[in-house]
Amino acid sequence: MVLRRNPQGRIVKGETVPDPTSPVTASFSSSGPSVMTPDIMKPDVSAPGIDILAAYPPDVPPTKGGGDDRSVRFNVLSGTSMSCPHVAGAAAYVKTFHPDWSSSAVKSALMTTASKIRDTTTKGGPSGLEFSYGSGQINPLKAANPGLIYEITKDDYVNLLCSLGFDVRSIDRNSTCPKGAKSITEAELNYPSLIFKAPVSKPFKLALNRTAQMSGLQPRPIRPKLLAPPTSTSLWFLRSFPLSPSPR
């Protein structure tokens, strides 16, 4: 910059360099399964959270080192606190298209339309990929039209917590665990993801039920597809896909 009375500078457009390995899960990201509910896949989804330009409190130094007296309103940060705003924004975006959807319907849309992650940094190795990134990286554009949604009501969650041994005070002052109420196991919760523990080197039979509803007004064909992970040693077959449509 030439020193003059009215100095001027110019910022030129940068060049985008694609990274064929992205997206990947950060090495410090928490992984599943959940200790309390191992039969519910966790995490649910992944979202951008590395080197994010974010708002920052001006009364907190931008670095953790001593002697930093600077005051900034923005900083480059990483962590779950950076991923959460991305997911919140994506949920709000989906809600603008479907204002009548419940929070569980929006969550279902984000999960079932997430993009697969090429994860090479997971602490669990290849067998722990899903426990590292969940359903994948959120895709708000696809989530606006997911095709199918899986609904979960508040009562479903309350009954699940009651069956796990939580008392009313631990759940909600407006909820109860009435005697004789239908208990719901983790596997029975109408969650958008499926997970189960299979015995090693032994045949087994399992039935997991889910109730889905169309997200659009136009009918469309449904073609179920089962994708086996690269660590699978057995050939899986989808024997049946029962449907029970009902008028609304």
Asked if 149 and 54 count as a contact pair (C-beta separation under 8 A), the reply is no
Q: Is 136 a member of any domain?
A: yes
More confident residue, 106 or 40: 106
For the ranges 53-62, 119-128, 153-162, which has the lowest average pLDDT?
119-128
d(CA 159, CA 186): 10
Tokens 């590292």 belong to 132
Residue that wins the pLDDT comparison between 162 and 239: 162
Is 152 inside any structural domain? no
In a domain, residue 102? The reply is yes
β-bridge partners, 214: 148
User: Cα Rg for the chain, rounded, in angstroms?
Assistant: 23
Tell me the pLDDT tens digit for each residue of 125-136. Answer: 444 677 888 888
Which residues span the domain enclosing 78?
Answer: 32-58+70-142
User: Would you say residue 100 lies in a domain?
Assistant: yes
pLDDT at 247: 47
Structure tokens given for 163: 């069956």
pLDDT of the residue at 176: 67
* Residue for token pair 């959120």: 138
Count of all residues that appear for the chain in the document: 248
CATH of the domain at 89: 3.40.50.200
Residue 88 lies in a domain: yes
* pLDDT (average), residues 106-114: 95
**Residue whose entry in the numeric block shows the structure tokens 């003059």:** 4
As a whole number of angstroms, the distance between CA 137 and CA 20 comes to: 15
Instruction: State the pLDDT at residue 122.
Output: 47
Q: What angle do CA 70, 83, 188 make, to 5 degrees?
A: 150
Query: Does some domain include residue 226?
Result: no
Q: Give the amino acid at 35.
A: V
Q: Is residue 189 part of a domain?
A: no
Q: Is the confidence at residue 118, as pLDDT, over 90? A: no
- More confident: 79 or 126: 79
Give the mean model confidence (pLDDT) for residues 203-217. 78
Q: Is 54 helix (H, G, I), strand (E, B) or coil?
A: strand
Of 140 and 160, more confident: 140
19: buried, middle or exposed (CB in 10 Å: 19+, 13-18, 0-12)? exposed
In this predicted structure, the answer to whether residue 143 has a pLDDT above a threshold of 90 is: yes
Exposure string (b/e) for 34-61, b if CB count within 10 Å is 16 or more?
A: eeebebbbbbbbbbbbbebeeebeeeeb
If one compares 177 and 190, the residue with the highest pLDDT of the two is 190
SS3 string of 115-184?
ECCCCCCCCCCHHHHHHHHCCCECCHHHHCCCCEEECCCHHHHHHHHHHCCCCHHHHCCCCCCCCCCCCC
Say how many domains are in the chain.
1
pLDDT band at 243 (very low <50, low <70, confident <90, very high): low
pTM, two decimals, is: 0.78
Residue pair 95/101 in contact (Cβ under 8 Å)? The answer is yes
227-240 tens-digit pLDDT = 665 555 444 444 44
C-alpha span between 184 and 186 (Å, rounded) = 7
Distance CA 108, CA 192 (A): 6
Q: Which residue has the higher pLDDT, 82 or 235?
A: 82
pLDDT at 6: 80
**Bigger pLDDT: 247 or 9?**
9
How far apart are the C-alpha atoms of 139 and 35, rounded to whole Å? Answer: 28
Least confident of 41-55, 101-115, 137-151, 194-208: 194-208
Answer yes or no: is 122 within a domain. yes
**Is residue 47 within 8 Å of 7, Cβ to Cβ?**
no
